[in-house]
Amino acid sequence: MEAKTAVTALAALAQESRLTVFRLLVQAGSSGMAAGKIGEAAGIPPSSLSFHLKELAHAGMVTSRQEGRFVIYEANFSQAAALVAFLSDNCCGGQACDLTCAPGAGQAVERVFNVLILCTGNSARSIMAEALINTMGQGRFRAWSAGSRPTGKVNPLAIDKLRAIGYPTDGLRSKSWDEFAVPGAPQMDFVITVCDNAAGEVCPLWPGQPVSAHWGFEDPAAAEGSDEDKRRAFDKVFRLMMNHVRLFVNLPLGTLDAAALRRELDHIGQSSQ
């Protein structure tokens, strides 16, 4: 998120009525609320409410959709997560932060969400995404990676990127997704594929009930040219992945149902920032 966008979002929320409206929409989740219901709950007259909703929409903090004769308003959780990520960008060594490190922050224990990252070969992209989620998630997420046709070898350039963020690499291996489909395997909350459909790859599909999403990244292991060219390819994909993961780990998971979570993950996957 750019500073100008953050200022616009903060300015929209820096008014009591608009802040009340946004918090009501957060509570409503993916169901959203019609303007009349918002006005009743917030005690805001229709003329004023229309103005406040326009300001929040202009700032990207709310979206709307037509349902019959009603306009339903919904909090834009991706934008809210991006704003939180922007505000905490320099905290915790530049990694995603939920501000629990701040003085006086509560010590409440949060549940840990299991995430499986899939690609074809499980040698570069899925390995890097696994490490980023485990590192930036700060204990709130436990990530694994696997492949539908694993190469059996982790790309050395991927290992270099992980060492740069201090992630342990000794136990990394390219493995089949079959390991996560046997009895006793961790139950996944999220399954994310990171192969590149545009490159003609066949992305694996995961059965069952986890929230699934596709984040397409070019395969840096397929880059040609000099060693420096290949490193640049890994740098580019790693940077894009970091931005995606920062948005993901800052989502307000406790307030979103499965449909809303899937929609937010899709929004993240479509992001090129």
SS3 at position 146: strand
Active site amino acids:
119, 195, 203
The closest of 25, 67, 62, 63 to 42, measured between CA atoms, is 25
- Inter-residue contact 155 to 221 (CB < 8 Å): yes
* Amino acid (1-letter code) at residue 143: A
CB atoms within 10 A of CB 266: 15
Q: In which element (H, E) is residue 128 found? A: helix 125-136
The closest of 130, 146, 143 to 242, measured between CA atoms, is 130
Query: Which residue has tokens 């903060």?
Result: 10
The Cα–Cα gap between 95 and 176 comes to: 29
